[in-house]
Amino acid sequence: MDSTRTRVTVVAAAVAAMFCVVLGRLFFVQVLSASTYASQSRKQSQQRSIVAATRGSIFDAQGRVLAQSIQKQMNPTPDISAFVTSGQQRTTPAHAVTRIYPYGELAGTLLGYTGRDGQGLGGIEFLFDRELCGENGWAILQRDGRNFRYGKIGLPRKEPQNGCDVYLTTDIEIQKVVQKVLVETIARHGARGGMCMVMDPATGRILAMADEPSFNPNIPSDYPMDRRTNRCVNSVYEPGSTYKVITAASILQEGAKKETDVVDGSGGVYQVYDQVIRDTKPYGKLTFTQALSHSSNVCFAKLARELPAQTQYRYAKDFGFGSRSGVELPGEETGQVKPVSAWSGRTQVTMAIGQEISVTFLQMMLAFSAVANGGVLVEPQICENVVEPNGVSRQIDQYHPVRRVISESVALRLRHMMQTVVDSGTGHGAWMSGIPIAGKTGTAQKIDTSTGAYSMTRYWSSFIGFVPVENPVLVCGVVIDEPAAGESGGMAAAPAFKQIVSETISNPGIVYGERILLACRESQRTARELAAAADSAKGAGRSGSEVVRTAAHASSRDSVAARPDEAPPAAGATFVNVPRVTDLDARDAVGRIVRFGLTPYVRGLGTVRSQSPLAGFRTHRADVCTLFCAIEG
């Protein structure tokens, strides 16, 4: 009996002990560790999922889409972040976001591309990645035993902030022309490749930028890395004879020579230490203008001696060589301008003809733009404005002058010298009837890497010019890489320039074509009126300069009187017609330009004698209108 009672007591005690252990464990789990186990439960049944922001689009200056993100239908997979979150409905993923470039290879190296994670990896996509990508959101999704995830009311969620839209200064219609002509030119001459750019010289706006061979940013992995780089800013070359424009500018500005001064061509041969400078023809005595027109290496080698080495170096730096341009496109090279202390005995001569200096194509375009706009080096502009998802526009400054490199009068004289290059010199392949063009050819030998000497068969053939001469609207440059037959810049690149200008003028969808024609008509009208005024003043005892001033003033005054007063554009208008402000005081002209929503830039003091763009030209609101005043600043 006692043993039975003892056994019952032991069993009861054991059961009680076990019950206490269970109760203790329950207390520990349900009370002391409740938050820990709840968290583990949530981790197993809930998942934080990224809700991707929609990447902003890229547009050209006319609002045409160059790059955009779209929803793409795809097969369901368990690893996706786009879900339907209506109540507790079980769902599967339906869409993924992909980046589309509607124009394919057009401006491919300029636009760049995105990686698998949606981040920009080149060009504009990389430069404006922070603005374009936006900010991702997140959502807590419920997950069941079969690993299906679904939204549930009450679970936390943060909405994504979509990216901004970026509007460029480029015009896709000009880009089409440029890239088509470049591809045709490369094929015609059996060249390795080429580059081409079009810019507005007054503002530095890049209107087109192309290099071939290009790539399609829709399928970047199909192309090697060197095809995806923008060689207009990422590669350097020796400019050859196009650099003679900078040499000529420095000589004119320093007063070392005038256009009619004579230089001896020495029969096309000039010995400089152990190097012989040669011309393609045995020239005798040439004027300074003829030396530029015929691109005489011998004459420019002798002209280089007219300036101290330090002065020559200073002008190279002032024109922007050896430093970044400010465009901020990824991978921009600076080129190389050796300090005078590192010059050899022949550097001063060879640099004057475009050797022993390396440049980017963009730097050369900016230097020619300085000559075209009256002597001011400007920063290039690639972005016009950034528009936030709420519609607020962040306007990008449209005009960034860097420094004045030559005076306006010297720039005008140099433009007239460069016109002879096209009218009767090496650049005659760019000549067009009724369209005054100025420019310069270049045929630069490449360095043979195996010997370190200049190759006799491999060249950079180039032409850079602007149109029209008196009031340049566009600067266009063409560089052909190793034409098969070694054609010069006048043979390979100048005709391509002509074709680009011709197709730009004839395309009604390109506003700059209309602007070129307006500028040409204005120049022709002014020239006729000045000639008529000079003829009528013969025998009146007035000096030629007085006749010109009087005629120009009358012409401007009559033009203002004959044209009705334009009304300022409506608020919010994207495009405006440029008002006529010639013959007005600079202060009044600035006020009128501002009322029309444009940005004034004044050169000089006193009465406005000319303007760019011309009156009546249709342009974007906030674009720069340059006012040239009677007293040069």
pLDDT grade for 558, boundaries at 50, 70 and 90 = very low
Q: Output the pLDDT for position 540.
A: 57
Query: Quick one: pLDDT at residue 272?
Result: 86
Question: Do residues 436 and 547 both lie within one domain?
Answer: no
Q: Which residue has the higher pLDDT, 570 or 562?
A: 570
Residue 241 covered by a domain: yes
User: Does 177 have pLDDT greater than 50?
Assistant: yes
Q: What does the DSSP 8-state code read for residue 574?
A: S
Note whether residue 408 is domain-resident. yes
- pLDDT band of residue 89 (cuts 50, 70, 90) is very low
Q: Give a yes or no: residue 200 inside a domain.
A: yes
Most confident option among 9-13, 43-47, 63-67: 63-67
Among the listed residues 287, 258, 201, the one whose alpha carbon sits nearest the alpha carbon of residue 466: 201
Residues 6+ apart with CB under 8 A from 605: 586, 629, 630, 631, 633
pLDDT at 632 exceeding the cut of 60 = no
CB 512 within 8 A of CB 207: yes
- Based on the domain organization, do 503 and 525 belong to the same domain? no
Q: Are 353 and 298 in the same domain?
A: yes
Considering the domain architecture, whether residues 164 and 180 belong to the same structural domain is answered as no
CB atoms within 10 A of CB 73: 7
* pLDDT of 379 strictly over 90: yes
Asked whether residue 282 falls in the same domain as residue 224, the answer is: yes
- Single out the residue in 112, 146, 168 at which a domain terminates: 168
CA pair distance 404, 370, nearest whole angstrom: 8
In this structure, are strands 275-278 and 383-387 parallel, antiparallel, or unpaired? unpaired
491 with 457, same domain: the answer is: yes
Residue 286: CATH number of its domain: 3.40.710.10
Task: State pTM to two decimals.
Answer: 0.78
Phi, psi of 326 (to 5 degrees): 100, 0
pLDDT of residue 95: 47
User: Of 509, 539, 556, which marks where a domain is finished?
Assistant: 509
| DSSP string over 326-356 | S---TT----B---GGG--TTHHHHHHTT-S
Residue with tokens 């209107």: 207
Q: List the CATH number of the domain containing 138.
A: 3.90.1310.10
Query: 87 pLDDT exceeds 50?
Result: no
Same domain, 241 and 388: yes
Q: How confident is the model at residue 598 (pLDDT cuts 50, 70, 90)?
A: confident
pLDDT: is 254 or 526 the higher one?
A: 254
**Confidence band, pLDDT 50/70/90 cuts, at residue 127:** very high
**184 with 102, same domain?**
no
Residue 453 lies in a domain: yes
Range(s) of the domain holding residue 51: 47-168
Lookup: tokens for 420: 């002879």
Backbone angles phi, psi at 190, to 5 degrees: 60, 40
Compute CA distances 53 → 166, 253, 387, whole Å.
16, 55, 16
pLDDT for position 504: 93
What are the tens digits of pLDDT across the range 395-439? 776 788 999 999 999 999 999 999 999 999 999 999 998 899 999
Q: Which of 509, 526, 558 is the last residue of a domain?
A: 509
How many domains does the chain divide into?
4
> Looking at the domain assignment, is residue 623 inside a domain?
yes
Do residues 344 and 204 share a domain?
A: yes
Between CA 624 and CA 597 the distance in angstroms is 10
Helix ranges (H only) for 203-356 are 231-234, 244-254, 288-293, 297-304, 309-318, 347-352
Do 487 and 577 fall into the same domain?
Answer: no
Which residues, at least 6 apart from 623, have a Cβ–Cβ distance to it below 8 Å? 203, 398, 598, 599, 613
